[in-house]
Chain A
Amino acid sequence: MPPKPEDIAEMVRQHIPDAHVQVRLYSGDDHFEMDVVSASFAGKTRIAQHQMVYAALGDNMKEAIHALALKTSVS
């Protein structure tokens, strides 16, 4: 069972408390797109920003989440 968009958003907020997170399904029930805005991204490369989000999702990224289109920006 893939997580729901709101579950994914909550996982990210647990890890990055100030994050504004929006998650939408764009195909089926396991293809997601997500926008994350956080002050904690400041001064970090995009790769590092995305890695922070992937870290929040942990093993879900390996299994339940089939595809994730991710966009990060600094608030």
Chain B
Amino acid sequence: MSDSVHEQIDQVVKGNDVVLFMKGTPDFPQCGFSQRVSAILASYEIPYAAVNILLNEDVRQGIKEYSDWPTIPQLYVKADFIGGCDIISEMHENGELEELLAPLKKEA
């Protein structure tokens, strides 16, 4: 991964409380897994930045190396990598995600 792509990703991850790297956009997700995670996030009514990785092949590959995680979507909260669709779904069901996102909701 080139340094500039890494820096670009790093800036987005650190510059936003909640960032979702996904295929498509929250309004027009282009993959079932991305759709599920953006729908879960929408239910918490918190603002988040969405990055459509389909628009840039460098970012699409770069994000996988950045997190050492082979799949999309990827959710970051406060610059920490939280997980992909399976982990987010599980955290949504067991209440962990609510706990994680609650402080961000109050700030908004």
Of B33, B70, B81, B83, which is within 8 A of A61 by CB?
B70
Does A44 have its Cβ within 8 Å of any Cβ on chain B?
Answer: no
Contact B68 A61 (CB under 8 A): no
Q: How many residues of B contact A (CB 8 A)?
A: 13
Does A42 have its Cβ within 8 Å of any Cβ on chain B?
Answer: no
Contact B83 A71 (CB under 8 A): no
Q: How many residues of A contact B (CB 8 A)?
A: 12
Of B70, B83, B85, which is within 8 A of A62 by CB?
B70
Does B87 have its Cβ within 8 Å of any Cβ on chain A?
Answer: yes
Contact B33 A71 (CB under 8 A): no
Closest 3 pairs between A and B when the two form their complex, measured CB to CB: A61-B70, A70-B86, A46-B87
B interface residues, Cβ below 8 angstroms from A: 33, 68-71, 81-87, 90
Q: List 12 A-B contacts (CB under 8 A).
A: A46-B83, A46-B87, A46-B90, A47-B87, A50-B83, A50-B87, A51-B68, A54-B70, A61-B71, A68-B71, A69-B86, A71-B86
A interface residues, Cβ below 8 angstroms from B: 46-47, 50-51, 54, 61-62, 67-71
